[in-house]
């Protein structure tokens, strides 16, 4: 059996990209020099330069002759931005958007297992997350996820921008189809507290099922949107 491994430049690219997405490197930060990256990854200069070139092509960094490589004020587009109402904010102010996972656990829930096309007694991954803009909570999200990744991985990646991104990076699973159901509801006291709004405020509630190929449901996401600052906008194309 032949075991395929990532090229050296891809490992460097993935590592730096992950640090940018998670906020370890923020806008304006200078990256380690090419020589430092060689030592960090125990590689020659060529894969380092190839990785930096790809990061620059993806507009994650910009390079200044004689000074180094700096984190840029933008990130590669993620599908969740155009499916969530963050589209305009994300394109200009991605550094002002953050995500916090506040609960990760394995649950047995026959209803959601059935929607994920699993046996009713299957343990599925449950996440509770909040997405912020300028440190103000805008989205409250609950995920019921097919257990293709362990709960520990979600626990170790609590600031990842989207479940879709984690599935792609860790399992090379592509989300190719999405179903949305949207309705206006009055926030429960718990949701109102999470979004820092009044108990009688109306919020937009969405129920989304995300599918991989062959119509395999990967993530059932119930989300609540504080629409005080904008209206929900949806446009996506895979």
* 236 pLDDT higher than 70: no
C-alpha 59/C-alpha 81 separation (Å) is 17
State the Cα–Cα distance between residues 93 and 163, nearest whole angstrom: 21
Q: How far apart are CA 177 and CA 171, in angstroms?
A: 17
**Mind listing the pLDDT tens digit for each residue in 99-116?**
899 999 999 999 999 999
pLDDT at res. 25: 85
Tell me the per-residue pLDDT of 131-164, one tens digit each, with 9 for 90 and over: 888 888 989 999 999 999 999 999 998 888 788 8
Q: Which residues contact 208 (CB under 8 A, 6 or more apart)?
A: 83, 178, 179, 180, 181, 219, 220, 221, 222, 223
Residues in Cβ contact with 125 at an 8 Å cutoff, skipping those fewer than 6 apart:
104, 105, 106, 143, 144, 145, 146, 147, 149, 151, 154
pLDDT in tens, 73-83: 654 445 444 45
With bands split at pLDDT 50, 70 and 90, how would you rate the model's confidence at 28?
confident
Whether the per-residue pLDDT at 186 is higher than 80: the answer is yes
Distance set, CA 87 to CA 76, 92, 98, 170, 222 (Å): 12, 9, 14, 25, 19
| pLDDT at residue 58, rounded to an integer | 83
Residue 124 has pLDDT above 50, yes or no: yes
pLDDT in tens, 155-182: 998 888 788 888 988 888 888 888 888 8
What average pLDDT is seen over the chain? 84
Q: Which CA distances in Å does 215 have to 107, 174, 179, 182?
A: 23, 11, 11, 21
pLDDT at 86 exceeding the cut of 60: no
Q: What is the pTM of this model?
A: 0.63
- pLDDT value at position 1? 42
Which pLDDT score is estimated for 154? 93
Q: Which residues contact 233 (CB under 8 A, 6 or more apart)?
A: 85, 87, 88
């Amino acid at each position: 059996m032949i075991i395929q491994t990532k090229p050296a430049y891809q490992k460097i690219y993935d590592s730096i990209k992950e640090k940018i997405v998670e906020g370890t490197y923020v806008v304006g930060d200078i990256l380690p020099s090419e020589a430092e990256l060689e030592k960090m990854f125990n590689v020659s200069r060529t894969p380092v330069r190839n990785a930096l070139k790809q990061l620059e092509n993806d507009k994650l960094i910009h390079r200044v002759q004689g000074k180094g490589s700096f984190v840029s004020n933008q990130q590669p587009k993620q599908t969740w931005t155009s499916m969530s109402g963050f589209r305009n904010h994300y394109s200009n102010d991605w550094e002002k958007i953050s995500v916090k996972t506040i609960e990760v656990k394995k649950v047995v829930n026959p209803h959601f297992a059935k929607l994920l096309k699993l046996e009713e007694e299957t343990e599925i991954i449950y996440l509770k997350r909040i997405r912020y803009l300028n440190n103000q909570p805008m989205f409250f999200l609950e995920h019921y996820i097919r257990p293709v990744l362990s709960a520990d991985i979600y626990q170790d990646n609590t600031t990842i921008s989207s479940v879709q991104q984690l599935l792609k990076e860790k399992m090379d699973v592509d989300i190719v189809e999405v179903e949305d159901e949207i309705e206006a509801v009055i926030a429960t006291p718990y949701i109102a507290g999470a979004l820092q709004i009044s108990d009688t405020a109306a919020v937009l509630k969405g129920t989304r099922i995300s599918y991989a190929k062959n119509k395999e449901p990967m993530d059932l996401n119930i989300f609540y949107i504080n629409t005080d600052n904008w209206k929900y906008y949806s446009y996506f194309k895979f």
